[in-house]
């Protein structure tokens, strides 16, 4: 493998970039033919693509890739990932016998293990923070398993943002089932989610609740690329449900939510609604902990009274309920 060299900007149609594209295609074909040597060629292909990408301006990379690289975008991203994490692969004793898919799988498993360690540490930190935060007239914080948590009252709104990965989809069934106990007859459940598994989420919520509306949260900043779907998204759905056979009788609301790009908590934070003062945990490490954060809100004469129930779900988040 050649040694990394300093990269200078170049025109998208320069001879240097054309040569990089040709070499990348050669390595891609070799990776498709070779068994034992496939990973070596894949990493070299990733190096060439990374070198080409670094020489282009914003917006030039994908058009150049479509014009000069014979394989698809996912192949290109996979090769570049193998190159970027080649040192990690080198620590694997049997790298010489890994296939391209085997190398990518190894990197994915290592990343999941690292994320798991970070998530467990964040959960411990979140639990300690919850226990040390004093209750006030506007909130109280409880750390519990949402599958067994018993609320001492019913709420007008249940607002939540569960983790998005596929392995956590079972949380929506937990939410829908428990909301029948926690929600007042005229209240609403608002669940923000990703788009990738939206059809499954609709079905899970519909098992125990009635559909009311779908709102949109416009995510601040640049659009987020969902490469597995080849979509750049700039919004998230907020699914709104009522109890079966019940009607919402509260105030009229807009179905488009926004927040400042510096607000880490999204649309359900202090800045989104001046009347709904959120508890200190709402803007903390709930996302890092992959916790099931439930913001249960009860109406009060002076606006909204917030009760933050942070449910860590150490088992339910990894194993969907049947």
98 and 137 assigned to the same domain? no
The yes-or-no verdict on residue 288 having pLDDT over 50 is: no
Q: ∠ CA(91), CA(94), CA(97), 5° rounding?
A: 130
How far is residue 44's CA from residue 113's CA, in Å, rounded to a whole number? 27
69 and 190 assigned to the same domain? no
The pLDDT-based confidence of 88 (bands split at 50, 70, 90) is confident
The yes-or-no verdict on residue 109 having pLDDT over 60 is: yes
DSSP letters along 281-321, please?
A: GGGSSTTTTT-EEEEEEEEETTEEEEEEEEE--TTTTTS--
Domain coverage including residue 102: 15-108
The yes-or-no verdict on residue 5 having pLDDT over 90 is: no
φ, ψ of residue 126 to 5 degrees: the values are -65, -45
DSSP letters along 232-281, please?
A: EE-EEEEEEEE-TT----S----SEEE--TT-TTGGGSGGG-TTSPPPGG
Question: What's 197's domain CATH number?
Answer: 3.40.50
CB 25 within 8 A of CB 49: no
93 and 235 assigned to the same domain? no
149 and 100 assigned to the same domain? no
20 and 87 assigned to the same domain? yes
The yes-or-no verdict on residue 301 having pLDDT over 70 is: no
Per-residue confidence (pLDDT) for residue 12, from 0 to 100: 57
How far is residue 99's CA from residue 104's CA, in Å, rounded to a whole number? 9
Listed ranges 157-161, 267-271, 275-279; the one with the highest mean pLDDT: 157-161
CB 161 within 8 A of CB 266: yes
pLDDT higher for 252 or 318?
Answer: 252
146-196 pLDDT tens trace: 777 787 778 888 888 887 888 888 889 988 999 999 888 998 998 989 999
305 and 179 assigned to the same domain? yes
Adjacent-strand bridge partners of 256:
216
Listed ranges 21-35, 96-110, 126-140, 191-205; the one with the highest mean pLDDT: 191-205
In a domain, 163, yes or no: yes
41 and 152 assigned to the same domain? no
Range with the lowest mean pLDDT among 4-8, 34-38, 85-89, 124-128? 4-8
Total of domains in the chain: 2
57 and 180 assigned to the same domain? no
Range with the lowest mean pLDDT among 56-70, 82-96, 180-194, 212-226? 82-96
In a domain, 62, yes or no: yes
Q: What average pLDDT score do residues 134-148 get?
A: 70
The yes-or-no verdict on residue 269 having pLDDT over 50 is: no
In a domain, 118, yes or no: no
Adjacent-strand bridge partners of 231:
226
Half-sphere exposure of 40 (CA within 13 A, CB side): 11
Scan for tokens 């190159």, then name that residue.
83
The whole-chain average pLDDT of the chain stands at 74
């Amino acid at each position: 493998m050649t040694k990394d060299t300093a990269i200078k900007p170049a025109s998208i149609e320069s001879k240097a970039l054309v040569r990089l594209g040709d070499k990348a295609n050669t390595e891609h074909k070799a990776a498709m033919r070779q068994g034992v040597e496939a990973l070596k060629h894949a990493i070299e292909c990733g190096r060439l693509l990374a070198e080409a990408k670094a020489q282009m301006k914003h917006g030039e990379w994908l058009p150049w890739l479509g014009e000069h690289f014979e394989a698809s975008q996912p192949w290109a991203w996979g090769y570049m990932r193998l190159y970027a994490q080649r040192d990690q692969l080198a620590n694997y004793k049997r790298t010489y016998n890994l296939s391209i898919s085997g190398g990518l799988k190894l990197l994915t498993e290592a990343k999941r293990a690292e994320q798991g360690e970070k998530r467990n540490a964040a959960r411990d930190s979140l639990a300690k923070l919850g226990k040390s935060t004093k209750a006030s007239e506007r909130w109280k914080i409880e750390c519990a398993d949402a599958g067994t948590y018993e609320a001492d009252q019913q709420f007008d709104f249940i607002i939540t943002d569960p983790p998005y990965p596929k392995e956590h989809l079972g949380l929506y069934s937990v939410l829908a089932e428990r909301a029948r106990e926690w929600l007042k007859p005229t209240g609403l459940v608002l669940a923000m989610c990703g788009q990738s598994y939206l059809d499954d989420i609709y079905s899970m919520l519909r098992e125990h609740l009635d559909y009311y509306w779908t709102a949109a949260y416009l995510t601040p900043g640049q659009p987020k690329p969902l490469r597995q779907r080849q979509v750049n998204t700039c919004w998230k759905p907020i699914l709104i449900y009522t109890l079966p056979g019940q009607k919402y009788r509260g105030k009229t609301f807009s179905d488009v939510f926004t927040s400042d790009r510096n607000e880490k908590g999204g649309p359900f934070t202090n800045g989104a609604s001046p009347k709904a003062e959120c508890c200190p945990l709402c803007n903390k490490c709930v996302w890092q902990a992959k916790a099931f954060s439930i913001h249960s809100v009860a109406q009060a004469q002076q606006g909204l009274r917030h009760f933050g129930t942070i449910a860590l779900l150490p088992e339910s988040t990894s194993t969907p309920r049947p």
